Structure 1
Amino acid sequence: MTAALATTPLTAADRCDRCGAQAYVRVRLSSGGELLFCAHHGREHTPRLQEAAADIHDESHRLAGAPAPAADQER
């Protein structure tokens, strides 16, 4: 794996391998595999995965940001 892959931001197209929700945690395993998790499953599985992971990239802090304002629509 290259360093560029490790820093690639997760997008809305990246889905949790456990439940299919948007992924916010990427786990690269020492064996070369990769797992993606939503914030919930990332928190649940990260403690055990730290033993087998080469890298854990967590972007769940993005969930705390303020939502974009909705556009005003007249009916």
Structure 2
Amino acid sequence: MSDVTTTPPISTPLTAADRCDRCGAAARVRADLPAGGLLLFCRHHFTEHEARLVDLGATVSMPSEELV
């Protein structure tokens, strides 16, 4: 990962019911937008949109096992 700041989950942890907003796969990353709003991504789509999330100042959280 590059310049994204990762934090522990802000609210409840992601569950198997949480799905990627782009493709419906299992969500692995939560992005809280500073203007409000929440986006969930699989790893593939997080990587694809990571630079834009940094530009927007999103707070990104993911399980610690995803940080490797």
- What is the TM-score of this pair, normalised by structure 1? 0.67
Question: Higher relative contact order at CA 8 Å, sep ≥6: structure 1 or structure 2?
Answer: 2
- Name the % identity: 54
Describe the superposition over 1:23-49 as per-residue Cα deviations: whole angstroms up to 9, x where unpaired.
000000011110000011011111211
User: C-alpha root-mean-square deviation of aligned residues, in Å?
Assistant: 2.1
- What is the TM-score of this pair, normalised by structure 2? 0.73
* Number of equivalences: 59
In the alignment, structure 2 segments of 5+ residues that lack a partner are: 1-8
In the alignment, structure 1 segments of 5+ residues that lack a partner are: 65-75
Taking the aligned partners of 1:60 and 1:42, their CA distance within structure 2 comes to 15
Q: Which has the larger radius of gyration?
A: 1
Which contiguous aligned blocks of 4+ residues in structure 1 show a shift greater than 2 angstroms?
58-62
